[in-house]
Structure 1
Amino acid sequence: MLSNRISVNDGLYKIAVGKFNRNINVIDNQFTQILNVETIYLKDGYYGPNGFHAEDLAVIVLKNKVSISVGVAPVCVDWGSKFSVPNGAQGKIVGWGKTEKGIQSPNLLEATLPYIDHDSCRKMYTNGFQTFVTTDKFCAGSALGQGVDQGDSGSGLTYLHFEFYYLTGVVSVKDPNTNNSIAVFTDVKRHIQWIRDLYNNYTSYASDNIYKPNSMVIK
């Protein structure tokens, strides 16, 4: 098992926002920011493939805050677990994964994926891959059409609720033996208390409005 808290020194890892080009050294526009990672938190109980990728989620703390602008904005988080997503609802995801031609995309791509709940997803697999659809997972995608691929792991899947997009899932795994676009996602709401506890550690008085000089990224 990996340590659940990894301290990062000397700018070893970086996060980029406001970018469309995959090359982190390319400054795309006036909104692009390259920030150093300070700490990475992994969920307790994550054992990688040996644990069927259960608890497959990380929270990344940056050394400095992200500057919010018309070109860079945070996604919403359903802290109170108020919203549910029906099967077939269309979600949005972006990433630099491989295209249908099998090549890595140099530019950020967007896909629309239909939601598949946990039970329905497990029933789709009969080759043993259903063991990777652990209790904290759901699926999204279809037999044909857009989907995620190698290089998209950790990308966030969002669904629309009352005119705002909420982070619902994070790309975890995909059955390598199928040709469809369906992938397995870590369900953010299953980990919301853990995320909230970490968030409170980096905010003054556990307030949503008063911040210490750090930003957080969920992957």
Structure 2
Amino acid sequence: MTWGKVREIRDGRCGKGRAGDGKESGGGRRGRGVETGQSLTLQSLTQWKVPDLGSGEGSQEGERVKSGGICAERAIAKHRAQRTPISSKNSSDCPRTPRHSLNMGIFRFRLMLLCLIGSLSHLNSSVADEAEDISHKDADEAEDISHKDVHCGVPVNISHGHYEYLSHHDDDTYLSVIKYACDGPVYHLEDPEEAVYICTEHNKWKNAKLKYKLPECHKVSCGVPKDIEHGHFEYVTTHGVTSYLSAIKYTCDANYHERDFSDEGVYVCTIEGKWRNTDLDFEIPTCEPVLCGRPVVHLETHQRVVGGQMVVNGASPWSMLLRGADGEIIDGALIAHQWMLTSAHALQGEGRSEAEIKANFHAYVGIEDAREMDSAHEVHIDKIFTHPKTKDAMVYSNDLALVKLKENITYSNHIMPICLPAHDLAAPGKVGHLAGWGMGVELKPATHLLYVELGMANASQCLHQLAQKQPGLFTEDAPDLFCTQRSALEENVCRGDRGAPFVVEEGGVEYAAGILSYDEACRAYTYAVYTNIYNHLDWLKEIMANH
């Protein structure tokens, strides 16, 4: 078969003028073939019925066609066997064959047509693909030519912001990209999707969200701070300004304190538009009623610094300081709004009267650094009550003095009372700490409140040794005294620590086990001596209730 014939079949021109053209003969039809001009497809061929050439009117023509087809098959077989040319005589001599041979010929003819159609279908598909590729290529070239003159121009600047090219610099042609940014950190885009613009075929910069509208830069603002229960906030920076880097401070109401430490309650407006605290992050503080012996921040229990560690962040909020006109230092412990507990022998000195004490000593509360000794932390002495069994200011027995203050002290994170013990806390081996203003490791006056961790010692051995070294000042059978011994790091109390409480923690609550009486230990002596507070609870409660 030639390519011309293939094209003829492809164009639907096969079968023209054949036996199946549908012409009438002798009052009957020769058979149903492919109509003239009909496309030769798989569907048309499979639906094409081979005419029954052996029956009906026009049987003479059918017999002739059938005989010719079978004879042709026989002639081909004979030719293959004898290698002789096929002649018309050979064909005319063929006898008639059974009907199944005719059916086999029809089957082979159909199979040949199906294979031909498959080849033509693949050829048509390849030609169509090539045509489509050429069409797309032509369309792309046409589009390139049509977008060649697209220019979106210089982008428009926005208030408090600017733009930058993400493609070639100053390129405003089709599909060029720019990005808008705000002047940070004060200004920002509320939605990052509003930043990128693309040059379109309409000669305009376009954003996927805003379309042809320009973005707007908004000033970072954290909004009005939230209120807290039993507390309030105030502006550290300009009042009412809540923009980026503005600062506020939360403060609990009187006699309330923060449940968790928040670095003085200071919050700063961040670039995210939220108030943030260095300790609580974005959580606002919670204010709780102040209870004795429950500081917001606790002292570290492990000693690391020779000479004591500094007390910070209100970890010893009951520590008080009495400073004399000549620089003398006496420590004390806040036990109620108007009451301070200290050492009687330290306060009376060498026979000082109550009037002299009031005139020469200033009391301070809520301080950790000597530079904080100012009027903001100063309180004034109203009355002094010494234990009635105190025989002499120099004798270390019943060494307690209860000082009533003129001011009703307000509790806070840095100011709260220490708890009085409900049972005797003095027992050998029990560990506690003492925070005081005594001399440090170089025996110089302290400029910062320091604390030291110590263990309780055997009271009998301690008092026996001190009674021998300083007879008359100590008695070996004093029932209200207990001792501590210096630490493995040679830590101990020193001059200026007298009157400070020795604090023991039980169940997360801190109690004043005793008041330091003898502070001359430093490094020369092993022991320091305290008055056991539990032994004098009745006297303390009676004085406070009646005054």
TM-score, normalised on structure 1? 0.75
Structure 2 distance, partners of 1:99, 1:190, is: 31
Write out aligned runs for 1:190-209 (5 A). Answer: 190-202=535-547
Q: 1:142 to 1:99 in 2, by over 3 A?
A: same
Equivalences for 1:71-82 in 2 at 5 Å?
71-78=414-421, 81-82=422-423
Q: Which residue of 2 aligns with 1:140?
A: 484
User: How many aligned residue pairs are there?
Assistant: 194
2:401 alignment counterpart:
58
The alignment partner of 1:190 has SS state of: helix
Instruction: List runs of 5+ in structure 1 lacking aligned partners.
Output: 203-219
Distance apart, 1:127 and its partner CA: 2.8
Distance in 2 between residues matched to 1:176 and 1:162, nearest whole Å: 30
Which residue is 2:534 aligned to?
189
1:20 aligns with 368
Secondary structure at the residue paired with 1:127? helix
Determine helix, strand or coil for the equivalent of 1:149. Answer: coil
The reply to whether residue 161 of structure 1 matches residue 506 of structure 2 is yes
Shift, 1:177, TM fit: 9.9
Q: CA deviation at 1:83?
A: 4.5
By how many angstroms is 1:189 displaced?
1.1
Tell me which residue corresponds to 1:43. 387
Secondary structure of 1:74's aligned partner: coil
Q: How does 1:102-181 map to 2 (within 5 A)?
A: 102-125=443-466, 127-129=468-470, 132-133=474-475, 134-142=478-486, 144=488, 145-174=490-519, 179-181=524-526
1:138 & 1:103 partners in 2: Cα distance? Answer: 27
The residue correspondences of 1:29-40 to structure 2 (distance < 5 A) are 33-40=377-384
- Partner Cα separation in structure 2 for residue 124 and residue 132 of structure 1: 10
- Equivalent residue, structure 2, for 1:84: 425
Structure-2-length-normalised TM-score: 0.32
Asked if structure 1 preserves the Cα contact closer than 8 Å seen for 2:493 and 2:521, the reply is no
Choose 1 or 2 for highest CA Rg. 2
1:101 matched to 2:442? The reply is yes
Would the aligned equivalents of 1:7 and 1:39 in 2 still touch at CA under 8 Å? no
User: 1:136-185, CA deviations, whole angstroms, 9 ceiling, x for partnerless residues?
Assistant: 21111226422111111111111011111101111101456972452111
Q: Distance in 2 between matches of 1:196 and 1:63?
A: 19
Structure-2 separation of matches of 1:9 and 1:139: 28
**Matched residues in 1 for 2:377 and 2:433: separation?**
23
Q: CA offset at residue 21 of structure 1?
A: 2.0
Q: Distance in 2 between matches of 1:90 and 1:140?
A: 9
Q: Which residue of the partner structure matches residue 303 of structure 2? A: none
Q: State the distance in 2 between where 1:75 and 1:34 align.
A: 19
For the residue of structure 2 that corresponds to 1:122, the secondary structure is helix
Q: State how far apart, in whole Å, the 2-side matches of 1:104 and 1:10 are.
A: 23
Counterpart residue type for residue 18 of structure 1: G
Structure 2: distance between partners of 1:181 and 1:72: 32
Give the strand-richer structure, 1 or 2: 1
Query: Partners in 2 of 1:65 and 1:122 — Cα distance?
Result: 39
Deviations 1:107-132 (A, max 9, x none): 10011111124324224447344751
User: How much identity, in percent, do the aligned residues show?
Assistant: 19
- Cα-to-partner distance string for 1:24-48 (whole Å, 9 max, x where unaligned): 6347xxxx63111100111113212
Q: Residue 541 of structure 2 aligns to a residue in which SS?
A: helix
Output the CA distance in 2 between the equivalents of 1:172 and 1:186: 7
